[in-house]
Each structure stands twice: as C-alpha cells, then as structure tokens.
Structure 1
C-alpha cells in the first residue's frame, strides 16, 4: 500500500480524539463540544500532514527532525493557548 503513513496519521488522530471523548463519559472535568473536536481534529491532521510532507520532501535526516519538532512544538503551543490561554489571546479557553 502506497500511503501507509497517511493511514497511520489518520488512525493516530482518531485515537487521540477518542481520549477526551472517553473521558467525557466518566468525568465532568472534561467538557468538549463538537467544535472542540473539529478544531483539534484539524490541528492534529494538519500537523500530521505537514510532517508527512517534510518527510517526503526533505532529504537530510537532521533537517527532517528539526522541522518536524518545530511543527509539533507549534501544535503544542497552539493547543496550550486554546486550552488555558498562556499568551492571553482572545482565542484562549479560560
């Protein structure tokens, strides 16, 4: 199969989104709306696809690693801002 990594990316995104979905069944501490799932699905899928593009286009392994870490680091910062507002933007969830 030609696109094994793409299927793996989508599978990982689905599994990661199952975590808050399952948590919502057992606790009132997690309260995600459909919009929250949509935004995180887009962020996770976009991050995965950008890393896939980097792996396909960049030949030097050290550059691949640096670029993918930068993309994942950006995802983490955006996620933290949306969750608790570390930068105090209007998008903060707090």
Structure 2
C-alpha cells in the first residue's frame, strides 16, 4: 500500500480560523450572539467554499482560468453571505 504525500490546502485552515472569530468574540461581548445554527451555516459556507477553491485549483487548467472561476465562486459566496446577513435582495432566506 502506497500513501501519497498530499498537502492540505490552506483554504481549510483559513475557513476554520474564520469560524473561530465569532466563537471567541462571544466570550468577550454580548454584541456577537450566534446560535448553533449560525455556526452550522457559516461552517457549511466556509468549508464548502474551501472545497470549491481546492477542487477548482486542482482540476481547472490553465491557472488563469482557474483564478477566474475562483473569483466568481468567491463573489457568489459573498453575495449569499450578505443576503443571509442583511437581506440585500429581500429573498425568503434574508436575515434581519
């Protein structure tokens, strides 16, 4: 059995670190008040984005095209995150 030396994509580390920020902030202020569902949604979005970036970077050639796809993915995730947070478009998933 051969084990390949695979490197872990730093995007997963960044996603985990970003998820820790509100968890730590909740310990020091009452202005950050996330529920378990908020952490679940944020985790799915962050780690899903990291997975998407990882898959695009591994499977899309040439690299210039991969950077365009990653940019579009990040833009779409940002729009979804904003909609969930403040309701930019007033959809049924909009936050308050």
What is the total number of aligned residue pairs between the two structures? 92
Q: 1:2 — aligned with what?
A: 6
The structure in which a higher percent of residues are helix is: 1
Q: Contact 2:49 / 2:77 at 8 angstroms: preserved in 1?
A: yes
Output the CA distance in 2 between the equivalents of 1:78 and 1:50. 15
* Deviation at residue 55 of structure 1 after TM alignment: 0.7
- Per the alignment, in what secondary structure is the counterpart of residue 86 of structure 1? coil
Q: Which has the larger radius of gyration?
A: 2
Output the CA distance in 1 between the equivalents of 2:64 and 2:79. 22
Q: 2:36 — aligned with what?
A: 34
Over aligned residues, Cα RMSD in angstroms?
Answer: 1.1
